[in-house]
Amino acid sequence: MLSRIYIKNFALIDALDVSLHNGLQVITGETGAGKSIILGALRLILGERADLKSIAKAEEKSVVETEFQLDNQFKKFFIENDLDYEHQTIIRREILPSGKSRAFINDVPVTLDVLRTLSSQLIDIHSQFETSNLFTPEYQFKIIDGLSENKVLIEEYQQNFAEFQSFKTLLKKLQTQLSESTKEGDYKQFLLNELEELSLDDIDYEELQNQLSVQENAGMISENLAQILSRFHEEEIGILSFFNEAKNKLSKIAEVSQAFSELDQRLEESFVEIKDIIAELEDESENIEIDPEHLQKLSQLDSRLNMMFLKHNVQNLQGLKEIRDQIAGEQQGSAELEQQIAHTESQIQKKEKSLQTLAEKLSKNRKKNIPVFVKKAEDLLKKLGLEKAKVDIDLQLANEYNLFGKENIQLLFQANSGFPLRPIQTAISGGERSRVMLAVKKIIAESDMLPTLILDEIDTGVSGKVAEEIGNLMREMSADMQLIVISHLAQVAAKGNNNYKVVKEDVNGKTQSKIIVLSDQEKLNEIAQLLSGSRITEAALAQAKELIG
């Protein structure tokens, strides 16, 4: 319930602070007094766009603050949005002189999306010019689902529908990824095969280069080794003979002079080392083999590797391995994509079965309650002066699942007898819209907990008995909800549990709007004035008393 409205520095309002109550709250006032300004301020609470022109004093901020009495059903919203739940919750909107606006829930800054989500569950503002939502499938489903007590069922369906849509979106994304991957798949597989054929993990690149160098220079190596070994082994001037002779002579000197012992030892060691070197050279000489076939294989492998280096723009064998692993991963990713697609398609099928079951239950409940809606609506419209009006709801099977099931809806209407029912948006006149909407709101109020409903002059253009019935209807609606009505009808004002009047006055040469809480006597005078005009007559007072009853 909306329990308080505070407005500061907004249009013609310097400061306004009014408390509201449960039941029927009626606001009256002359045209142009500022009733629409109050509604405009409340629309800021609903998250509508803030206009810098609304600031009366340009150097000060504009503030609209509302206080609501909430029950525990809203706790979940506060928890999900990391807000402190308060039974008395304050929603505030500020427009700064810079033009920026800020929103707060219980003094915690929030985004406009969060503000809208909460306030849309608390206030429903409807004016005589706002009946277009009656023409929307969403609103028409809301009417019949309320009567059909489909609230829990529609919530379950819409949860499944959201998941169904999410899976369909995911499937489309995966299929796109697979399609793009498939376009390059054959070429990438060719590259992968090309790299895998090289057996990169078995190649020692340095050893390959060494073997290739040896094979390419085998003749030169063999020739030089032969010459080296020949020098060592020549009998007359060979190095071994020379070393052996020198070693023997130095040994004799060392026997007689201790000073040469160390040199003798060193020469001995060198002689042993040279013999080892010669032995290894002889082994290597024997191993050197000119193998044209092996050389060709080594050359071909080296050429293929160099070609791969250039092709993949890498500098070494490790770079090729990384490219190979990357392509292998991508190819594996394609296989995983196919698995994900299969799994997602399976989930879609499961969700579709759930949707089918729930949609059939929704449809069954709706069709069962269409006659209930027709009778209620036509009875209310007769009271509201549309004695010949006929209504119906047409449900047709849809090609695809939508947010409300697998059917399309049309609210049908005809104000005059003898003519066929037509979709309401093409059949209803301007004078009938408000009364039809009021009847619909009454039906919804009976079957669903509506938020605070604010009706702005939707009773315009009626009088007499119809006006009396509108007042009675609003009083009935307010028994189960808070109903705030802006009206020019005495018959409606007379039914108010609490009455308020918006007036304009001159304060220090500046026009300002304010709202006055009417006492019982002031309410009587206001109703009489609505009946007789600016001059209140005794007859008008008597009629006002009769209306109040």
- Position 274 scores a pLDDT of 82
Rounded distance, CA 423 to CA 263, Å?
123
Degrees to nearest 5, angle at CA 452 with 487 and 85: 150
Q: What is the mean pLDDT of residues 264-288?
A: 79
Domain spans of the chain, in order of start: 1-122+451-518, 181-334
Lowest-pLDDT range of 237-246, 333-342, 444-453? 237-246
- Position 61 scores a pLDDT of 92
- Position 183 scores a pLDDT of 61
More confident: 390 or 316: 390
Average pLDDT over the chain, rounded to an integer: 86
Whole-angstrom CA distances from 350 to 360, 362, 364 are 16, 19, 22
Is the four-CA dihedral 67, 69, 74, 75 of positive or negative sign?
positive
Rounded distance, CA 434 to CA 440, Å?
10
Using alpha carbons, select from 36, 3, 42, 5 the residue that is nearest to residue 120.
Answer: 42
Strands 452-456 and 483-486: parallel
In sequence order, which ranges of 14-96 are alpha helices (DSSP H)?
A: 35-45, 75-80
Contact 29, 528 (CB under 8 A): no
Looking at the predicted structure, is the pLDDT value of residue 379 above 90? yes
Lowest-pLDDT range of 145-149, 297-301, 348-352, 403-407? 297-301
Q: What is the mean pLDDT of residues 183-212?
A: 77
> What would the DSSP string read from start to end of 267-301?
HHHHHHHHHHHHHHHHHHHHH----HHHHHHHHHH
- Position 418 scores a pLDDT of 86
- Position 1 scores a pLDDT of 92
Using alpha carbons, select from 512, 517, 516, 515 the residue that is nearest to residue 10.
Answer: 512
The secondary structure element, H or E, covering residue 157 is: helix 151-196
Strands 422-423 and 2-10: unpaired
| Total-model pTM | 0.67
Using alpha carbons, select from 541, 517, 520 the residue that is nearest to residue 530.
Answer: 541
**210: Cβ contacts below 8 Å, ≥ 6 apart:** none
- Position 495 scores a pLDDT of 94
Q: Which residue has the tokens 């549309």?
A: 386
Could you tell me which residues are beta bridge partners of residue 498? 25
Six-digit token pair at 54?
């609304």
Q: What is the mean pLDDT of residues 161-181?
A: 89
Q: What does the pLDDT look like over 499-523, one tens digit per residue?
A: 999 998 888 878 888 999 999 999 9
Torsion of CA 155, 159, 160, 163, to 10 degrees: 170
Q: What does the pLDDT look like over 98-108, one tens digit per residue?
A: 889 999 999 99
- Position 235 scores a pLDDT of 63
Looking at the predicted structure, is the pLDDT value of residue 134 above 60? yes
Q: What does the pLDDT look like over 52-67, one tens digit per residue?
A: 788 888 889 999 999 9
Q: CATH assignment of 1-122+451-518, given 3.60.40.10, 3.30.420.40, 2.40.30.20, 3.40.50.300?
A: 3.40.50.300
Looking at the predicted structure, is the pLDDT value of residue 314 above 90? no
- Position 236 scores a pLDDT of 62
- Position 383 scores a pLDDT of 87
- Position 479 scores a pLDDT of 86
Q: Is 11 left (phi over 0), alpha (psi -120 to 50) or beta?
A: left
- Position 108 scores a pLDDT of 95
Could you tell me which residues are beta bridge partners of residue 94? 63, 102
Looking at the predicted structure, is the pLDDT value of residue 288 above 90? no
> What would the DSSP string read from start to end of 355-375?
HHHHHHHHHHHHHHHHHHHHH
Rounded distance, CA 517 to CA 500, Å?
5
Coil, helix or strand at residue 506: strand
Q: Which residue has the tokens 């009853």?
A: 549
Q: What is the mean pLDDT of residues 76-97?
A: 93
- Position 491 scores a pLDDT of 92
Is the four-CA dihedral 458, 460, 466, 468 of positive or negative sign?
positive
Rounded distance, CA 337 to CA 525, Å?
77
Q: Which residue has the tokens 């400061």?
A: 15
Q: What does the pLDDT look like over 385-403, one tens digit per residue?
A: 889 999 999 999 999 999 9
Strands of the sheet containing 452-456, edge to edge, are: 123-127, 452-456, 483-486, 24-28, 498-507, 510-517
- Position 265 scores a pLDDT of 87
- Position 144 scores a pLDDT of 94
Q: Highest mean pLDDT: which of 114-123, 303-312, 459-468, 531-540? A: 114-123
Q: Which residue has the tokens 């009587």?
A: 524
The secondary structure element, H or E, covering residue 396 is: strand 390-402
Whole-angstrom CA distances from 328 to 188, 191, 194, 325 are 9, 10, 12, 5
- Position 131 scores a pLDDT of 57
Looking at the predicted structure, is the pLDDT value of residue 94 above 80? yes
**DSSP category for residue 383:** H
Half-sphere exposure of 237 (CA within 13 A, CB side): 1
> What would the DSSP string read from start to end of 372-436?
HHHHHHHHHHHHTT-TT-EEEEEEEEEEEEETTEEEEEEEEEESSTTS--EEHHHH--HHHHHHH
In sequence order, which ranges of 288-316 are alpha helices (DSSP H)?
A: 292-312
